């Protein structure tokens, strides 16, 4: 097995001051992720209500011609 | 160096009639286009397309293929009167491309504006769906912002980037192929089914990847190439090329869409400035493209020509690092806000994709889709071959907010949005102000009865009292802006006055 050299160059830690740092792993982001996980059951309930009733027929009926 | 340049997005939509898979998609697509055209009033936005400067058979490598050797689907410049084709007041083109309705956004100058006018296209399609649903005695038409039916057919979402003609095409190919092999992990739309016809069950990162079969080529409908060589600049050919990128998926997540346009524009800028110093050429790019798409864990190793191996995320880090160094050394302290936003989002997304891709469920289409699918698998114990999972994949992209599953997640606050609804709504009728789309759109809005045809690089006027049509060429994409012609249009009550003023101004 050849050794796997990971070719990633040195990454910089600092970001420009004027650039916002969106969605880093802050406590807020972690809390939000937990809230999303708790929410998944109610999401599935909601999606159940809008999903095409006959999935098999719906999938079979979705036939496209090729495009670009 | 900046993410800003003239760019645009073309999106072909999936189309179907509920309960009637045999409905003629060409006629249906025509009805979608005409439904929107008739909404806009009797003549507004009805100008037809001017094909004079279309050259779909010209190849960026420097030759032109013979028309009689071209596949019929490559002949996109011959007008078929049964196919609808209109220009909108926002500067976009709405038409039938093969068997799909397509919205081609107006030319814009930033990734954010590209998102905004592409989202406006989704709303245009929604308006047509509503209109057709209201026709008594018909089943209506549903539209999907996706790129495959999972049964072997694919249809495109293309990006366009204006570049200087002086940049050698071979350099573009060399540096973009590895980037496109890897880019899908940031901006793939996710797909249930592996292989063009989904013959293997499973989930993959991108809708389009399995449909790409060669590295470089002119075709767009068969033997699709990672790098498309169509050389149809719609601008001064000696000065510009329009890079026609056919490999991307249709995005609904704004952050993924921003990264798709923004990072590609940055890589192009580095190619133009000869600033890419590391050779990242990959071995077997087509097979690697497929392998990366087929592994949502993102652990698949990409083999470089120089023998190194790295994941797709690490390959993207290599591009990011070169962009970062370049920006710091050449533009320290003077990075525009659009570029700073893309760089910041880029590093944030790569960091999390490397740690755990599922952390990007608010920003990246394939991760958001996989999160929902995995929820169903966990709750109901579904196999990847289950019809419900395939149905979710399709219904994910329904343009109707009440039916489209992406839209349901967006409404629940589970997706990060970058463009306000009001801005999208305004972009349905208003053109961007900083490209020639402004002139095209404003003329269509103000003088609809006096415009015979329009195209990306011309507006043709049919002025009362004049025997000949008058063609205003617009071969400079950054002329015809609000700054340049806004006052002139404002003070010209009719097209005749406008043309006289233009002639007097020597434009």
Q: DSSP states of B75-111 as a string?
A: -TTS--TTS-EEE-TTS-EEEEETTEEEEEPPPBSSH
In this prediction, residue B472 has a pLDDT band, given cuts at 50, 70 and 90, of very high
Host H or E run for residue B240 = strand B240-245
Mean pLDDT, rounded, for B439-445: 97
Mean pLDDT, rounded, for B253-277: 97
In this prediction, residue B17 has a pLDDT band, given cuts at 50, 70 and 90, of very high
- Structure tokens, B353: 């994709």
A-chain residues within 8 Å CB-CB of B390? Answer: 55, 59
Q: Are B464 and B452 in contact (CB under 8 A)?
A: no
pLDDT digits (tens, 9 = 90+) for B181-200: 999 999 999 999 999 999 99
**According to the model, what pLDDT value does residue A13 have?**
45
Q: Please answer yes or no on whether A18 and B337 come within 8 Å at the CB atom.
A: yes
With both helix axes pointing from N to C terminus, report the angle between B337-355 and B254-272 in degrees, rounded to the nearest 10.
110
Q: Which residue has the tokens 């525009």?
A: B336
pLDDT digits (tens, 9 = 90+) for B138-191: 889 999 999 999 999 999 999 999 999 999 999 999 999 999 999 999 999 999
What pTM was computed for the model? Answer: 0.91
Q: Which residue has the tokens 């509920």?
A: B18
Closest CA to B174 of B271, B248, B289: B271
**According to the model, what pLDDT value does residue B321 have?**
97
A-chain residues within 8 Å CB-CB of B150? Answer: 59, 62
In this prediction, residue A5 has a pLDDT band, given cuts at 50, 70 and 90, of very low
**According to the model, what pLDDT value does residue B60 have?**
72
A 10 A CB-CB count for B73 gives: 15
Q: Are B108 and B437 in contact (CB under 8 A)?
A: yes
Q: Is the pLDDT score of B298 beyond 90?
A: yes
Return the top range by mean pLDDT from A26-35, B30-39, B355-364, B461-470.
B355-364
Which residue did the predictor score with more confidence, B18 or B422?
B422
Mean pLDDT, rounded, for A39-58: 93
Closest CA to B307 of A19, A4, A52: A4
pLDDT digits (tens, 9 = 90+) for B372-401: 999 999 999 999 999 999 999 999 999 999
Mean pLDDT, rounded, for B483-489: 97
Q: Which residue has the tokens 């596949």?
A: B71
**According to the model, what pLDDT value does residue A26 have?**
57
A 10 A CB-CB count for B84 gives: 23
In this prediction, residue A3 has a pLDDT band, given cuts at 50, 70 and 90, of very low
In this prediction, residue A40 has a pLDDT band, given cuts at 50, 70 and 90, of confident
Host H or E run for residue B226 = strand B224-228
Known active-site residue B97 = yes
Mean pLDDT, rounded, for B335-344: 97
Kindly provide the b/e burial profile for residues B2-32, where b requires at least 16 CB atoms within 10 angstroms of the residue's own CB: bbbbbbbbbbbbbbbbeeeeeeebbebbbbb
CA dist B492 → B429, B472, B502, B503 (Å)? 20, 16, 10, 13
Mean pLDDT, rounded, for B244-266: 98
**Out of A4, A9, A55, whose CB is closest to B391?**
A55
Q: Are B138 and B241 in contact (CB under 8 A)?
A: no
Residues of A with a Cβ under 8 Å from any B Cβ are 4-12, 15-16, 18-25, 33, 36, 39-41, 43-44, 46-47, 50-52, 55-56, 58-68
Q: Domain residues of chain B, as ranges?
A: 10-114+129-145+433-507, 146-251+261-350
Mean pLDDT, rounded, for B72-77: 54
In this prediction, residue B343 has a pLDDT band, given cuts at 50, 70 and 90, of very high
Q: Which residue has the tokens 């406008």?
A: B498
Host H or E run for residue B159 = strand B157-164
In this prediction, residue B65 has a pLDDT band, given cuts at 50, 70 and 90, of low
Q: Is the pLDDT score of B294 beyond 50?
A: yes
Q: Please answer yes or no on whether B99 and A64 come within 8 Å at the CB atom.
A: yes
- Mutation target for A interface from B391, B396, B404, B412: give the one with most A CBs within 10 A: B391
**According to the model, what pLDDT value does residue A68 have?**
86
A-chain residues within 8 Å CB-CB of B321? Answer: 8-12
- What ipTM is given for this predicted complex? 0.90
In this prediction, residue B71 has a pLDDT band, given cuts at 50, 70 and 90, of low
């Amino acid at each position: 097995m050849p050794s796997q050299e990971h070719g990633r160059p040195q990454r910089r830690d600092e970001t420009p001051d004027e650039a916002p740092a969106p969605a880093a792993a802050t406590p807020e982001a972690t809390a939000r992720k937990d809230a999303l996980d708790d929410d998944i059951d109610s999401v599935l309930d909601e999606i159940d209500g809008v999903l095409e009733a006959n999935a098999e027929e719906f999938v079979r009926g979705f036939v496209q011609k090729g495009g670009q | 160096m900046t993410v800003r340049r003239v760019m645009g997005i073309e999106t072909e939509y999936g189309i179907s009639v509920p309960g009637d898979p045999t409905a003629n998609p060409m006629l249906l697509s025509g009805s979608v286009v005409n439904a929107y055209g008739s909404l806009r009033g009797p003549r507004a936005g009805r100008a037809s397309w001017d094909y004079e400067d279309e050259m779909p058979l010209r190849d960026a490598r420097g030759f032109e293929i013979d028309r009689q050797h071209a596949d019929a689907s490559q002949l996109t410049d011959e007008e078929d009167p049964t196919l609808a084709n209109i220009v909108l007041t926002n500067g976009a083109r709405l038409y039938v491309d093969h068997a799909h309705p397509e919205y081609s956004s107006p030319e814009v100058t930033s990734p954010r504006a590209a998102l905004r006018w592409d989202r406006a296209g989704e709303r245009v399609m929604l308006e047509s769906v509503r209109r057709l649903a209201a026709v008594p005695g018909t089943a209506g038409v549903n539209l999907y912002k996706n790129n495959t039916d999972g049964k072997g057919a694919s249809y495109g979402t293309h990006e366009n980037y204006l570049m200087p003609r002086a940049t050698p095409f071979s350099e573009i190919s060399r540096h973009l192929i590895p980037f496109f092999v890897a880019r899908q992990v940031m901006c793939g739309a996710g797909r249930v089914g592996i292989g063009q016809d989904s013959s293997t069950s499973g989930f993959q990162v991108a809708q389009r990847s399995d449909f790409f079969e060669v590295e470089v080529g002119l075709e767009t409908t068969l033997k699709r190439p990672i790098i498309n060589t169509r050389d149809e600049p719609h601008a001064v050919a000696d000065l510009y090329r329009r890079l026609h990128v056919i490999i991307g998926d249709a995005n609904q997540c704004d952050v993924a869409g921003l990264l798709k346009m923004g990072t590609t524009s940055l890589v192009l800028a580095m190619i133009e400035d000869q600033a890419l110093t590391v050779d990242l050429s990959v071995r077997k790019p087509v097979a690697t493209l497929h392998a990366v798409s087929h592994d949502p864990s993102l652990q698949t190793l990409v083999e470089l020509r120089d023998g190194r191996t790295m994941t797709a995320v690490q390959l993207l880090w290599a591009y990011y690092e070169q962009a970062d160094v370049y920006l710091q050394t050449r533009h320290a302290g003077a990075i525009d806000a659009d570029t700073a936003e893309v760089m910041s989002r880029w590093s944030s997304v790569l960091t999390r994709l490397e740690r755990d891709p599922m952390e990007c469920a608010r920003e990246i289409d394939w991760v958001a889709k996989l999160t929902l699918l995995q929820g169903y698998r966990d709750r109901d114990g579904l196999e990847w071959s289950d019809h419900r999972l395939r149905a979710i994949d399709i219904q994910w992209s329904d343009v109707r907010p009440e039916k489209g599953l992406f839209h349901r997640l967006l409404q629940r606050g589970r997706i990060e949005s970058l463009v306000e609804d009001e801005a999208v709504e305004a972009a349905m009728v208003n053109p961007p102000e900083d490209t020639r789309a402004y002139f095209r759109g404003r003329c269509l809005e103000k003088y609809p009865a006096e415009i015979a045809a329009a195209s990306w690089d011309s507006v043709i006027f049919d002025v009362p009292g004049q025997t000949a049509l008058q063609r205003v060429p617009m071969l400079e994409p950054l002329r015809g802006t609000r700054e340049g012609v806004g006052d002139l249009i404002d003070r010209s009550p009719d097209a005749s006055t406008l043309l006289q003023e233009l002639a007097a101004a020597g434009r």
